[in-house]
Amino acid sequence: MLDLGKMLKELRVSKNLSQEEMANLVGVGKATIANYEANRRDLNFDKLQEILKALNISVKDFFSDEKEEKTSTVATRIPIFSNASAGYGKYAQEEPLDWLELPNSMAKNADFGAFVEGDSMEPKIYEDDLLLIRKTETLEDGEIGIFYLNENIYCKKYKYNSVTRITTLKSLNEKYDPIRIENEDDFHIIGRVVGVIDYTI
C-alpha cells in the first residue's frame, strides 16, 4: 500500500528538517506534520502540493523513486499527452509524452493528463499546470473541459444556452473573447478536468 506518511517523513529527513521546521515552512502546526507522517490525518492532494512546493520538490520527483509502494494496486498510471491550450489553440498530438503514477485518491479517476499552454484560464489554471482529465462526451453548463476544435485542443469553460442552442468555450481570463462553436466546425468534447497539478514546482 502506498504510504504517503512514510514517504513524507523520508523526504523531510532527507532535507534534514525537524517536524517543527517543516511545519513552519508549510504554515501549519508541528502536530499536523506529525499526524500526516503517522497517517493519523488525511493528507489531501492540495496540502501535499503545498508541502512539496515549500520543499522545492516536484510532484513527479516525489512519486518517481522506485519503491515497493509504487507498484501497489491503489496507484494509477496515467498517460500524459500534448499540451492543451488555455489561449488560442494547440495542434493536437496523439502520442503520450510521458506517464505519471499517482495514488488513486489523487488521480481522481482521471484517464489521462495534459499540460496547459497559455494564460486564458487564469487565475484558476496557470500555464504549465498539469490537468487531470476524465474522458466524457458530455459536460454540464459551466464545467471546465478539454475540447477538440478544428484540429486544435483547448482547455475552456463549457457554456451551452438551451434556448438559443449555442455552444461557446469561455476563458476565465477576461482578455480572451469566448469562442462560439459554429455548425461547420469540427468540434467534440474530449473530457472533463477533474484535477489540476502544479507539476513544475
Q: What CATH code is carried by the domain that includes residue 59?
A: 1.10.260.40
Same domain flag for 33 and 82: no
Q: How far apart are CA 132 and CA 85, in angstroms?
A: 14
Reported as a pLDDT band with limits 50, 70 and 90, residue 57 is confident
- As a whole number of angstroms, the distance between CA 156 and CA 168 comes to 9
What pLDDT, on the 0 to 100 scale, is given for residue 142? 93
Query: Do 109 and 180 sit in the same domain of this protein?
Result: yes
Q: 117 and 167 share a domain? A: yes
Higher pLDDT, 199 or 198: 198
Q: 111 with 184, same domain?
A: yes
pLDDT in tens, 112-125: 888 888 899 998 88
Contact (Cβ atoms closer than 8 angstroms) between residue 134 and residue 110 = yes
171 shares its domain with 106: yes
30 DSSP 8-state letter: H
The proportion of the chain whose per-residue pLDDT surpasses 70, expressed as a percent, equals 83
Residue 77, amino acid: R
Residue 131, pLDDT score? 87
- 72-125 pLDDT, tens digit each: 446 778 888 766 766 555 545 566 777 777 777 667 688 888 888 889 999 888
Query: Residue 116: which of 148, 151, 81 has the closest Cα?
Result: 81
Statement to judge: residues 115 and 30 lie in one domain: no
In the 8-state DSSP scheme, what is residue 80? E
Same domain, 17 and 101: no
Grid cell digits, residue 29: 502546526
Domain of 140, in residue numbers: 75-197
Is the pLDDT at 27 greater than 70? The verdict is yes
Q: Are residues 97 and 63 in the same domain?
A: no
Q: Based on the fold, state whether residues 133 and 155 are members of the same structural domain.
A: yes
CATH of the domain at 145: 2.10.109.10
Cell numbers placing 79: 498517460
